Structure 1
Amino acid sequence: MASDRPRTSISAWRPPVPGIAEVFHAHFTDHAYPAHTHDTWDLMILDDGSVDFALDRHRHGATGSTNVLLLPPGVPHDGRTVTESGFRKRNLYLDDSVLPQHLAGRAADTPVLNDELLRGRIDQLHTALVHPEDAFEAESRLSFIRERLHFHLAALQPRAPGREANRLAAQLRELLDSRTHAGLSLHEAAATLHAHPTHLIRCFKQTYGLPPHAYLTGKRIEHARSLLLDGHRPAEVATTVGLHDQAHLNRHFTRHVGTTPARYQRTRTGSYPTTS
């Protein structure tokens, strides 16, 4: 008689985001990892179920929606399911540009972090990573995750925006306005303005009320609306305003305007006043 237990399912890809070597999503029902090591950091959240694992010969367990697992590079670990229904997990494999190797020892001591804020940020990053064209947003979210992990491992307090916040925010806004079509990476913006990435984002949000990636998307949608009302085709509009393709335009346009670009464009034919 065939088992009615869910089958194992996995998906893996390499996103266009510096610092992330691989994204891995999986549902395991009876798989057990043998002892092994990684060259990268393994940052994992559970969406369902429980896991039991040994790290550096000490056993640990994790369950629930607030736990974050951080397994350091070079340290042997295994992993197995706890219940018959198995577990669903999402992993980020991070290189040492995100976390330096010298923090591995501290991570090995406390691999399970009960941090709801960190867990929420990782969830948001995974959502952004599903769409490769949203690399700027993903890079921004990874920057805050990196900061939070450093807070746990190195007891580094995040720097609050100071008196220079408005100046930095204005400089970044000017940079984004000049690169609306071409876009830019967070790393490039931070290097140009000589500021730490997360500090730069905080200054911008404090000054303008939204993060820089959301500001850039809003500018592009504003430009798209104008082009659509001028009669340009949605596919042409997408590339003109700096979005990846029409699907990318559709997703953000619908979220901002409440309708698709094609439907929005069709309204223009009946919007003109009649003349006698």
Structure 2
Amino acid sequence: MAPQHRAPRSPRPQREISAWRPPVPGVVEVFHAHYTEYAYPMHVHDAWTLLIVDDGAVRYDLARHEHGTPHDTVSLLPPHVPHNGSPVTEHGFRKRVLYLDLSRLDESFIGPAVDAPDLVDPVLRRRVGQLHSALAHPGDELEAESRLTLVGERLRGHLRPRLPGEPRPDRTLAGRLRELLDARLVEGVSLEEAARLLQAHPAHLVRAFSAAFGIAPHQYLMSRRVEHARRLLLDGRPPGEVAPATGFFDQSHLTRHFRKLVGVPPGRYARAGLGAA
């Protein structure tokens, strides 16, 4: 009996997704996906869709006009406006999406976003990627809020350019924020709370602090916490105890930032200190 030859099976469409809702004001949902042969039908959201594509490209229709997502493009799709989406090639696309409520961009920006939803801005693209990284780690809410504020400010700059004569952040405001961060080193403070306490817009806070001290507020707070952790580790306290004592979410949170700033994990640092003693 002759062997039967079967036609090779075509690869199954890939649909890999992850989604979560971080504790950051203004972020409704974070959504990551890898699709090969899936096409979105026309649909709407009640939130802003901030989209970056890491691999491949997406073609979509918005307000009866075709758009796409080439390299370094950030796409901002407004709420309540129908759109679809499909892969440009057979390899599909890998995307990261933030759904933002109207507290970050109000309805007055919907019209400009419909006219120009695709923003070719490598700086904005990098900042959105950094924001996704911050949102993926519990305990980095201040960093996520700071990065989201800068992203929102840059989006508004594209949709509504800055008018001459608008007030700029000042050094006094930066100093007051630094005093607040120092006072709340362990318990922390959200950007929204800091803005309320200092009676300033969140974007003004971040800009003023970064311009005055050459470092973003979340970077300053984390470096101060790591500095505090170093002292406690050299006093002989274990990393698992040092983490909550210095404001970190848990030991892995401490380890990630400690390694970034010191070059070694906290346990190794502590052992080095004991050896020197």
Maintained 8 Å contact 1:50/1:86: yes
Supply the AA of the counterpart residue of 2:52.
Answer: I
Alignment of 1:264-275 (within 5 A): 264-272=269-277
CA–CA distance in 1 between the matches of 2:276 and 2:265?
A: 17
**1:101 positional shift:** 1.5
Give the SS at the match of 1:38. coil
Give the SS at the match of 1:195. coil
Match in the other structure for 2:158:
152
Task: Identify which of 45, 62, 75 aligns with 1:69.
Answer: 75
TM-score by length of 1: 0.93
**Superimposed CA distance per residue, residues 183-214 of structure 1 (whole angstroms, 9 cap, x where no aligned partner):** 00011111111122122122212222211111
Alignment of 1:73-88 (within 5 A): 73-88=79-94
Correspondence 1:95 to 2:95: no
Give the SS at the match of 2:90. coil
Match in the other structure for 1:224:
229
Match in the other structure for 1:166:
171
Give the SS at the match of 1:133. coil
**Superimposed CA distance per residue, residues 23-56 of structure 1 (whole angstroms, 9 cap, x where no aligned partner):** 1111110000011000000010111111111112
CA–CA distance in 2 between the matches of 1:97 and 1:63?
A: 28
Supply the AA of the counterpart residue of 1:57.
Answer: R
Distance 1:160 1:257, change over 3 A: farther
Maintained 8 Å contact 1:42/1:70: yes
**Superimposed CA distance per residue, residues 63-112 of structure 1 (whole angstroms, 9 cap, x where no aligned partner):** 22x11111110011111011011111110000000010222122111111
Q: How many residues align?
A: 269
Match in the other structure for 2:245:
240
Match in the other structure for 2:20:
13
CA–CA distance in 2 between the matches of 1:60 and 1:205?
A: 35
Give the SS at the match of 1:113. strand
**Superimposed CA distance per residue, residues 209-260 of structure 1 (whole angstroms, 9 cap, x where no aligned partner):** 2111111101111110111111111111000001000000000011111111
CA–CA distance in 1 between the matches of 2:274 and 2:145?
A: 40
Give the SS at the match of 1:252. helix
Task: Identify which of 197, 203, 226 aligns with 1:198.
Answer: 203
**1:154 positional shift:** 2.0
CA–CA distance in 2 between the matches of 1:157 and 1:32?
A: 40
CA–CA distance in 2 between the matches of 1:259 and 1:147?
A: 35
**Structure 1 unaligned spans of 5+:** none
Maintained 8 Å contact 2:149/2:202: yes
**Structure 2 unaligned spans of 5+:** 1-7
**1:268 positional shift:** 2.3
Maintained 8 Å contact 1:28/1:87: yes
Correspondence 1:185 to 2:190: yes
Match in the other structure for 2:125:
119
CA–CA distance in 1 between the matches of 2:133 and 2:265?
A: 21
**1:16 positional shift:** 1.1
Root-mean-square deviation (CA, aligned residues, Å) is: 1.6
TM-score by length of 2: 0.93
**1:2 positional shift:** 3.4
